[in-house]
Amino acid sequence: MTRYNAPFEIHVHGDVPLREDVGPAQIQEVLKPLWQYAGASSLDAAANSHFDDEPGIRLDTAEHVLRMCWTVTGDEDFRQAVEELCMGLNDIALAGAAIEVSFYDADFDEEDPDSNEDARDDFMMCFVGPTPAAIMQVQRDLLINDVTHIMERHFDPSELGGVVASIDALFTQRFDALVNSMQLGKPPRGGHGGSSGHGGPRKPRHLH
């Protein structure tokens, strides 16, 4: 459903591996914040993107992965829909995953020579997963990929072992602080981390 005079074209992009026991009905319920925001009555009705050349929201049945490359028109209130989406995905995700949400200024015309205003584009990165450890793992992997990609312009990859170790140490400190702040056997409160019913978090791999 098109929202007239909507200030943003909002693009959601990410692949979330799902548990094998998760079925279509549960996926539809978890994605309800998205399809309701689009003004649809079901996931099927909203699965196609605002742009025809994007695949939209699809379940890869072979890999059992939820794939999202989907644009909707909207406003800043879409952030609340993303918050609710992430909380639901925590409960059905098999592993940690990153979701990119981009807000593109629908009124900005970069070819307008008389425009003196900058685009109001914005971007947010969300992380989901079955446990806090799984979420930190994907955060750690993404950060190392970004940092090493930049530094490899100036250094040989073999020289970057110390950088990777330092990033691991930072995430280990964060994980240990999380464990110490939790009541044993209860999930953490707030944020996009963790979901109920998993007990205490397990330390991610690479975090020594």
Side-chain half-sphere of 132: how many Cα atoms within 13 Å? 22
Q: Which two tokens stand for residue 17?
A: 């591996």
Identify the pLDDT of residue 117: 65
User: Helix, strand, or coil here: 146?
Assistant: helix
Against a cut of 0.85, is the pTM above it?
Answer: no
Identify the pLDDT of residue 112: 54
Contact 2, 9 (CB under 8 A): no
| Residues 88, 31: Cα–Cα separation, whole Å | 8
Contact 184, 122 (CB under 8 A): no
Q: Where does residue 6 rank: exposed (0-12), middle (13-18), buried (19+ CB within 10 A)?
A: middle
Identify the pLDDT of residue 72: 97
What are the DSSP E strand ranges found in the chain?
Answer: 8-17, 56-60, 65-74, 97-105, 122-128
Greatest extent of the chain over all pairs of C-alpha atoms, in Å: 60
Scanning 24-115, the segments in alpha helix (DSSP H) are 24-30, 32-37, 43-46, 78-92
Contact 137, 128 (CB under 8 A): no
Identify the pLDDT of residue 176: 76
pLDDT per position in the chain (208 positions), as tens? Answer: 556 577 999 999 999 999 999 999 999 999 999 999 999 999 999 999 999 999 999 999 999 999 999 999 999 999 999 999 999 999 999 999 999 999 999 876 565 555 556 678 899 999 999 998 899 899 888 888 888 889 989 999 888 888 888 888 888 887 777 777 764 445 444 444 433 333 344 444 455 3
Identify the pLDDT of residue 169: 86
β-pair type (56-60, 65-74): antiparallel
| Residues 99, 125: Cα–Cα separation, whole Å | 6
User: Helix, strand, or coil here: 71?
Assistant: strand
Identify the pLDDT of residue 208: 38
Identify the pLDDT of residue 109: 57
> What order do you get walking across the sheet with 65-74 strand by strand?
56-60, 65-74, 8-17, 97-105, 122-128
